[in-house]
Chains A and B, each alone.
Chain A
């Protein structure tokens, strides 16, 4: 689209120190309510997943070291952090499924829920292949990361990227970020961190995401699905089945009454 600036997030988990400044900045700027003050006991992660009131979520991935990968010490477990966020899919399940037109694509390419239109039908919740969007029980509407649409409108970067002290969350033009990610991964591989990989499911039906990640090891340990499916790809078999079911019902009813209607 001419003149459209497609922006993105590149979250480089090798630079993340798990400070959660992104979570805090997001909450403050967007006035997101608290998500409970409870200890999960799972590393330092007390929110556990993205949700209606957790739009940035720092994962704390602890596991045994793979010796030789990226200079891991045999004496220490590995501890990695990665700040998760709505993926702002190229083909977004929530956006396609939204019956009110509340969820829209912004001029920056992000996926945005218009809070004055959402009526809380909950259909986006079951059509997001990443389990991001959710309905806030006490409010009734669905919420997720807005990609700081309000800030982007006036030329500011999203609050999380602004607050990130290490440059782990990079914001900018999507194309430029993808090139930066390629350079970064080459640099890491050259330095011996052979398990570093980019997560951006371009070959899935989602067709790539505007928020993509650099993680170490298998993206599955970060609950990142290897082949996310955007549910609109299922519409064809589904409506074919409707045609079969409807035809069977119509013909069957007519036949039944033609055979035994008067008795």
Chain B
């Protein structure tokens, strides 16, 4: 139901009917209904998936057992937090099990629900086995390590599929970036996993190498977004969502990169974590703004579509 405030806004921005302004400048697409739980899940689920990958890599390389153990904790706890976040966002939370009613490869949401289910199973098994190994003499090493490898394999998907989820939609700013979003979100997830491990006191050189690499990549992503002057990408540069995007990009890319070069590793880690969270929120909010922009779906001439322009960037 349209609210009085939204109606006021629509009236204020309405324009005379012309092919250049659509139907009174009314938005063509519907706004995403997702609330804060969804970007929070992008952050938590991504970090958990990437932590499983880092943990498995550390284990294969024979790194410190404490690091492997903490990585399993991040993966397991993140997986356990992801479920409730997604359920809370449903319009009918009591029906969350319907997500596992069918498997549809053509639905990124369905693939994601099954990925989270598999990842959660493996990540919590790996964590449980690790804690049992510390406390008991039970022969759980093998099953724990096998689960850890499987959690890393599904973790790779956890860290990246959310880019497909928003990319393969009708929302212009998301679909425009469909072929970079999975990599961007994967890098952001890896940055958060590395940062969490560093803040937990681990200072392996490998973590710093990963931190440097993703900060460099995120700096490139920030540059790429900044230099993209297409209409579809406007919510990433203009208005409130433009500010959020830039703040997120600054804390994800250049700032941690400089801090790492200056050897302030913990400060860089904190910056990357914050940047990742802000970046996920910024993308969802940009999608909301983009859904109001009828210029892209209607293929309108930007300069003439004054009314359309007013509908976004508020």
Chain B residues with Cβ below 8 Å from A99 are: 99, 102, 104, 107, 109-110, 112-113
Chain A residues with Cβ below 8 Å from B167 are: 234, 238, 241
**Given A99-B107, A223-B294: A260 in contact with B208 (beta carbons within 8 A):** yes
The smallest beta-carbon distance between A69 and chain B, in angstroms, is 13
26 pairs, A vs B, C-beta closer than 8 Å: A40-B10, A61-B17, A61-B23, A100-B99, A121-B91, A121-B109, A123-B165, A126-B32, A131-B29, A220-B300, A221-B22, A229-B175, A231-B169, A232-B168, A234-B175, A235-B108, A237-B178, A249-B50, A249-B190, A250-B53, A250-B57, A253-B53, A259-B206, A260-B204, A261-B61, A263-B204
Chain B residues with Cβ below 8 Å from A48 are: 2, 10, 24, 26
Q: Are B95 and A119 in contact (CB under 8 A)?
A: yes
- Whether, in the assembled complex, A128 has its beta carbon less than 8 Å from a beta carbon of chain B, the answer is yes
Q: Are A121 and B169 in contact (CB under 8 A)?
A: no
* Alpha-carbon gap, A85 to B100, bound state (A): 31
- Whether, in the assembled complex, A135 has its beta carbon less than 8 Å from a beta carbon of chain B, the answer is yes
Mark A118-129 against chain B: 1 for CB-CB distance below 8 A, else 0. 111111011111
Q: Are A38 and B2 in contact (CB under 8 A)?
A: yes
- Give the interface residue-count category, chain B: 35 or more
User: Which residue of chain A has its CB nearest to the CB of B159?
Assistant: A249
Chain B residues with Cβ below 8 Å from A228 are: 170, 297
Q: Are B164 and A235 in contact (CB under 8 A)?
A: yes
Known: A122-B91, A226-B298, A253-B53. 10 other contacts (CB 8 A): A99-B107, A123-B107, A127-B170, A223-B294, A235-B168, A238-B163, A239-B164, A246-B159, A249-B53, A260-B208
The smallest beta-carbon distance between A240 and chain B, in angstroms, is 7
- Whether, in the assembled complex, B182 has its beta carbon less than 8 Å from a beta carbon of chain A, the answer is yes
* Alpha-carbon gap, A101 to B97, bound state (A): 12
Chain B residues with Cβ below 8 Å from A244 are: 182-183
**Given A131-B27, A223-B22, A228-B297: A120 in contact with B209 (beta carbons within 8 A):** no
Q: Are A125 and B32 in contact (CB under 8 A)?
A: yes
Mark B19-31 against chain A: 1 for CB-CB distance below 8 A, else 0. 1001110111111
| Segment of A3-11, A19-27, A139-147, A169-177 in the binding face | A139-147
Mark B144-179 against chain A: 1 for CB-CB distance below 8 A, else 0. 000000001000110111011111111100110011
Q: Which of A48, A98, A130 has the most CB of B within 10 A?
A: A48
Q: Are A238 and B108 in contact (CB under 8 A)?
A: yes
Q: Are B179 and A119 in contact (CB under 8 A)?
A: no
Q: Are B186 and A256 in contact (CB under 8 A)?
A: no
- Whether, in the assembled complex, A150 has its beta carbon less than 8 Å from a beta carbon of chain B, the answer is no
* Alpha-carbon gap, A248 to B186, bound state (A): 9
Q: Are B170 and A231 in contact (CB under 8 A)?
A: yes
* Alpha-carbon gap, A122 to B88, bound state (A): 12
Q: Which of B64, B91, B298 has the most CB of A within 10 A?
A: B91
Q: What's the dominant secondary structure at chain B's contact region?
A: helix
The smallest beta-carbon distance between B301 and chain A, in angstroms, is 11
- Whether, in the assembled complex, A97 has its beta carbon less than 8 Å from a beta carbon of chain B, the answer is yes
Chain B residues with Cβ below 8 Å from A98 are: 104, 107, 109
Interface residue ranges, B against A (CB under 8 Å): 1-2, 4, 7, 10-11, 14, 16-19, 22-24, 26-34, 50, 53-54, 56-58, 60-64, 89-93, 95-96, 98-99, 101-102, 104, 106-110, 112-113, 152, 156-157, 159-161, 163-171, 174-175, 178-183, 185-187, 190, 204-210, 213, 287, 291, 294, 297-300
User: Which residue of chain A has its CB nearest to the CB of B211?
Assistant: A256
Chain B residues with Cβ below 8 Å from A258 are: 61
Q: Are A261 and B206 in contact (CB under 8 A)?
A: yes
The smallest beta-carbon distance between A38 and chain B, in angstroms, is 6
* Alpha-carbon gap, A262 to B165, bound state (A): 37
Q: Are A225 and B297 in contact (CB under 8 A)?
A: yes
Chain A stretch 200-241: residues in CB contact (< 8 A) with chain B:
217-218, 220-223, 225-229, 231-232, 234-235, 237-241
Chain B residues with Cβ below 8 Å from A127 are: 168-170
Interface residue ranges, A against B (CB under 8 Å): 34-36, 38, 40-42, 45, 47-49, 51, 53, 59, 61-63, 93, 96-102, 117-123, 125-137, 139-142, 217-218, 220-223, 225-229, 231-232, 234-235, 237-242, 244-246, 248-250, 252-254, 256-263
Q: Are A254 and B294 in contact (CB under 8 A)?
A: no
The smallest beta-carbon distance between A47 and chain B, in angstroms, is 8
User: Which residue of chain B has its CB nearest to the CB of A255?
Assistant: B209
The smallest beta-carbon distance between B88 and chain A, in angstroms, is 11
Chain A residues with Cβ below 8 Å from B91 are: 118-122, 135-136, 139-142
Residue from A35, A102, A220, A256 in contact with B19 in the complex, judged by beta carbons closer than 8 Å: A220
Chain B residues with Cβ below 8 Å from A254 are: 57, 60-61
* Alpha-carbon gap, A110 to B311, bound state (A): 32
